[in-house]
Amino acid sequence: MKKTIAIVLSLVLMFAFTAVTFATEKAAAPVEKKETTPAEKKEAAPEKKAAKKQVTGEVTAIDAKANTLTVKGKKGDVTVSTTDKTKVVAGKDAKTLADVKTGDKVTVKYTEAEGKNVATKIAIMAAPAKKETVAAAPVKK
């Protein structure tokens, strides 16, 4: 009887030590976290993503050589530069920067990074349809 109790007790202790060992291995892996102060978090935030913005208005200037576009929006003129990745569309049709004319109404989505505005998408708005006024003819009785 003493021998059986000794074997059972040794097995229980063996399982207890094994469980503790596995628990410490799993807990040791996420210890690599770096603690930061709130001030460091504020400084790191602007470096992660560039500010995404949008402007809608009339095109006032286009510089094909410098690949820039100036749009007069509600808050003033915004100059954006374009890249090879900039999408220019009119409705569902793909266009190029050469298709944008001064006076066109556009919506430009751009990112502001390092003091530069880089366009990601330029949507050319369709010109509003001209309303034709038709004089109603008097009804004859």
- Pick the more confident residue, 43 or 59: 59
Average pLDDT of the chain to the nearest whole number: 79
Domain regions of the chain by residue span:
2-30, 49-124
* Structure-token match 């003091």, residue found: 115
**Above 90 in pLDDT, residue 64?**
no
Structure tokens at 127: 């010109």
Tell me the pLDDT tens digit for each residue of 128-141.
655 555 566 677 76
| Structure confidence at residue 75 (pLDDT) | 87
Average pLDDT over residues 42-54: 65
pLDDT tens digit sequence for 1-24: 889 999 998 888 888 878 777 776
Q: What is the mean pLDDT of residues 32-49?
A: 54
Q: Name the pLDDT band for 120 (thresholds 50, 70, 90).
A: very high
**Average pLDDT rounded to a whole number, residues 48-76:** 87
Pick 114 or 10 by higher pLDDT: 10
Structure tokens at 122: 């330029």
Contact status, residue 119 vs residue 82, Cβ threshold 8 Å? yes
> Thinking of the domain 49-124, which architecture would CATH place it in?
Beta Barrel (2.40)
Cβ proximity of 78 and 109 under 8 Å: no
